[in-house]
């Protein structure tokens, strides 16, 4: 008989949805919660999104603490699985946190608009998954309205991202209308019937095998003939299903759906839960740690600061990696060597925060912290190795920091150091006549507003930012004379990070690509800190 730990690990599915704004992430999330029974009527996530958009001011948004904190992780049960859906902030709050969340996920769902295919933000997020060999499942959304031909769309995805797609479901179109999906694994057609409630409840579905004579009657002879033809094409030309390739992130099981009408959502989700990995061993400085190992381990991937200056406490988001997490236990922060009490831990169920007594590998727990934790910290109840640092991702927005009162420089330095440790922005230094001048870099520009607000309210430093024209940064490895030579170009700058590692900033992607080509064999360029 398997132990409680094994059982809990094997039923966990921890994933994030990666998409470009407007592909339908909010709508899909809402439908998954609906199927998971976490909300009875779909609509609550949407309401929250409307609220978020209405308050475009991040500060105000954050002051309504409940909103952004609870939207970070959604946990619910579905078909015997314990699902942890990690929110990847998009829209105007796209930031390094979005990337870091992917490090905490065991798989990702890439959601595409059926007319637009792969878009910029999808590509960036997909590349982070690729780098980490995270399994990616593809959902082509909005199939209720005409889109790109599915064969063409998948060809484009494959060419763009360098991944193979394996359609697990295929859309059934009748007179151009999306009426069902064919499931290639069990060779059945799921024919959907539209309800009257605009997708607020489950969809009525009729399931028939491909050779069931009733199928022709319900779909119509032409529709069925076209479907058979497409299936033949898929079988003849497409990739084979290969579970190892899925786990390695090189083959993406692909689904067709309409989050708006719910068509295809449940067939996707069931297959996804079956095929997606439960927590797998993760690398530490002393080898891989198995999630079923008895010792508790986890790492911090996100810190949410409280903007109210009277309450300096923060919530650190801990991804449990092995063993059992127990509220109130004393564990060790392996970086600092100090003991940490797992005080007042919380999980997040739809809109509510709940106190949690125990958690298992794959779960994300919010713990109160008074400033002792940093992003990337490993917490453990023994002396295991540390989880490999969460990488710093290359920023795309840069600004020089200026302060009105030079006597506050020390406070500025402290603030920048602490805020960068916490992951609010990255700090770089450029040589200037007056010594190293601080610059900040961010993945999303909203991070700058947050930074200025926090410098002022937490460190008493009034600063301004002078935006710089760079859009690309690369950590660079090679002889210093070559770094100096390359950085001397007119649209470049050389800076160092907080650990004194050199980077070169570029004004354009084109300039960066050309330099990488020209310097092949001399310099190495890294988009993630080496």
Q: How many residues bind ligand G4P (CB under 6 A)?
A: 16
- Is 20 annotated as contributing to ligand binding? yes
Contacts for 50 with CB less than 8 Å, ≥ 6 apart: none
- Is 40 annotated as contributing to ligand binding? no
Considering only 23-31, 388-396, 472-480, 486-494, which stretch makes contact with ligand G4P by CB under 6 A?
23-31
Dihedral sign for Cα 54, 58, 59, 62, please.
positive
Of 89 and 298, nearer to ligand G4P (C-beta) is 89
Residue from 21, 277, 385, 445 in contact with ligand G4P (CB under 6 A) = 21
Residue from 14, 27, 346, 347 in contact with ligand G4P (CB under 6 A) = 27
Distances, alpha carbon 441 to alpha carbons 319, 447, 461, 508, 520, in Å: 26, 9, 18, 15, 26
Binding positions for ligand G4P, 271-300, rule CB under 6 A: none
Q: Is 121 in the site for ligand G4P (CB under 6 A)?
A: no
Whether 47 and 41 have beta carbons less than 8 Å apart is answered as no
CA 365, 369, 374 angle in degrees (round to 5)? 85
- Is 113 annotated as contributing to ligand binding? no
Q: Is 142 in the site for ligand G4P (CB under 6 A)?
A: yes
Q: Is 242 in the site for ligand G4P (CB under 6 A)?
A: no
Considering only 15-23, 32-40, 368-376, 494-502, which stretch makes contact with ligand G4P by CB under 6 A?
15-23
Tell me what percent of the chain is helix, strand and coil, each rounded to the nearest 5: 30, 30, 35
Distance of CA 423 to the CA centre of its chain: 15
Residue from 16, 18, 23, 85 in contact with ligand G4P (CB under 6 A) = 23
Q: Which of 22, 24, 36, 19 is nearest to 272 (CA)?
A: 36
Min dist CB 261 to ligand G4P, Å, is 6
**3-state class of 184 per DSSP?**
coil
Of 443 and 452, nearer to ligand G4P (C-beta) is 443
Burial 45-58 (b: 16+ CB within 10 A, else e): beebbeebeeeeeb
Full 3-state SS string of 104-170: HCCEEEEEEECCCECCHHHHHHHHHHHHCCCCEEEEEECCCCCCCCHHHHHHHHHHHHCCEEEECEE
Of 259 and 307, nearer to ligand G4P (C-beta) is 259
Considering only 16-24, 186-194, 215-223, 498-506, which stretch makes contact with ligand G4P by CB under 6 A?
16-24
Residue from 26, 420, 426, 472 in contact with ligand G4P (CB under 6 A) = 26
Min dist CB 375 to ligand G4P, Å, is 25
CA 491, 20, 160 angle in degrees (round to 5)? 70
CA atoms within 13 A on the CB side of 214: 8
Site string for ligand G4P, 37-66 (x = CB under 6 A): ------------x-----------------
Considering only 257-265, 403-411, 448-456, 521-529, which stretch makes contact with ligand G4P by CB under 6 A?
257-265
Considering only 142-150, 248-256, 291-299, 427-435, which stretch makes contact with ligand G4P by CB under 6 A?
142-150
Q: Which residue ranges make up the site for ligand G4P (CB under 6 A)?
A: 19, 21-27, 49, 141-142, 144-145, 258-260
Q: State the binding site for GTP.
A: 19-26, 87-91, 141-144
């Amino acid at each position: 008989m398997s132990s409680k730990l094994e059982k809990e690990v094997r039923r966990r599915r921890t994933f994030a949805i990666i998409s470009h704004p407007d592909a339908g992430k909010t709508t899909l999330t809402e439908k998954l919660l609906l199927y998971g029974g976490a909300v009875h009527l779909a609509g609550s996530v949407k309401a929250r999104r409307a609220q978020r958009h209405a308050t475009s001011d991040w500060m105000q948004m954050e002051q309504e603490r409940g909103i952004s904190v609870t939207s970070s992780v959604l946990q619910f049960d579905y078909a015997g699985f314990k699902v942890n859906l990690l929110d990847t902030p998009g829209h105007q709050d796209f930031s390094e946190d979005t990337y870091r969340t992917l490090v905490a996920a065991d798989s990702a769902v890439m959601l595409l608009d059926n007319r637009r295919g792969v878009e910029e933000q999808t590509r960036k997020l997909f590349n982070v998954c690729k780098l980490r060999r995270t399994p990616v499942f593809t959902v082509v959304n909005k199939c209720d309205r005409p889109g790109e031909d599915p064969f063409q769309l998948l060809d484009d995805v494959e060419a763009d991202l360098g991944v193979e797609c394996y359609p697990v479901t295929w859309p059934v179109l009748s007179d151009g209308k999306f009426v069902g999906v064919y499931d290639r694994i069990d060779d059945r057609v799921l024919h959907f019937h539209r309800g009257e409630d605009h997708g607020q409840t489950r969809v009525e579905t009729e399931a028939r095998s491909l050779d069931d004579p009733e199928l022709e009657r319900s779909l119509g002879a032409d529709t069925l003939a076209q479907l058979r033809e497409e299936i033949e094409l898929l079988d003849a030309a497409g990739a084979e299903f290969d579970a190892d390739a899925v786990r390695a992130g090189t083959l993406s099981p692909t689904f067709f759906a309409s989050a708006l009408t719910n068509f295809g959502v449940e067939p996707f989700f069931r297959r996804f839960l079956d095929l997606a990995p439960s927590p797998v061993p993760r690398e530490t400085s002393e080898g891989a740690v198995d999630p079923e190992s008895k010792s508790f381990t986890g790492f911090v991937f996100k810190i949410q600061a409280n903007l109210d200056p009277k309450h300096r406490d923060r919530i650190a988001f801990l991804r449990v990696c092995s063993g059992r997490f127990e509220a109130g236990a004393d564990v060790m922060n392996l970086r600092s060597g100090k003991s940490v009490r797992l005080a007042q831990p919380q999980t997040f169920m739809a809109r509510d925060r709940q106190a949690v007594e125990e958690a298992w590998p794959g779960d994300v727990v919010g713990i109160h912290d008074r400033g002792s934790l940093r992003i990337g910290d490993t917490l453990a109840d023994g002396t295991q190795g540390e989880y490999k640092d969460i990488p710093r991702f290359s920023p795309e927005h840069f600004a020089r920091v200026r302060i009105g009162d030079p006597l506050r420089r020390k406070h500025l330095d402290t603030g920048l150091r602490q805020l960068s440790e916490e992951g609010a922005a990255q700090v770089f230094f450029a040589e200037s006549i007056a010594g190293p001048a601080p610059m900040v870099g961010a993945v999303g520009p909203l991070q700058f507003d947050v930074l200025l607000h926090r410098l002022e309210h937490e460190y008493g430093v009034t600063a301004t930012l002078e935006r710089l024209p760079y859009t690309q940064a690369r950590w660079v490895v090679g002889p210093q004379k070559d770094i100096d030579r390359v950085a001397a170009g007119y649209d470049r700058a050389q800076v160092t990070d907080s650990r004194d590692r050199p980077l070169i900033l570029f004004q354009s992607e084109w300039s960066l690509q050309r330099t990488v080509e020209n310097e092949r064999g001399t310099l190495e360029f890294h988009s993630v800190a080496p």
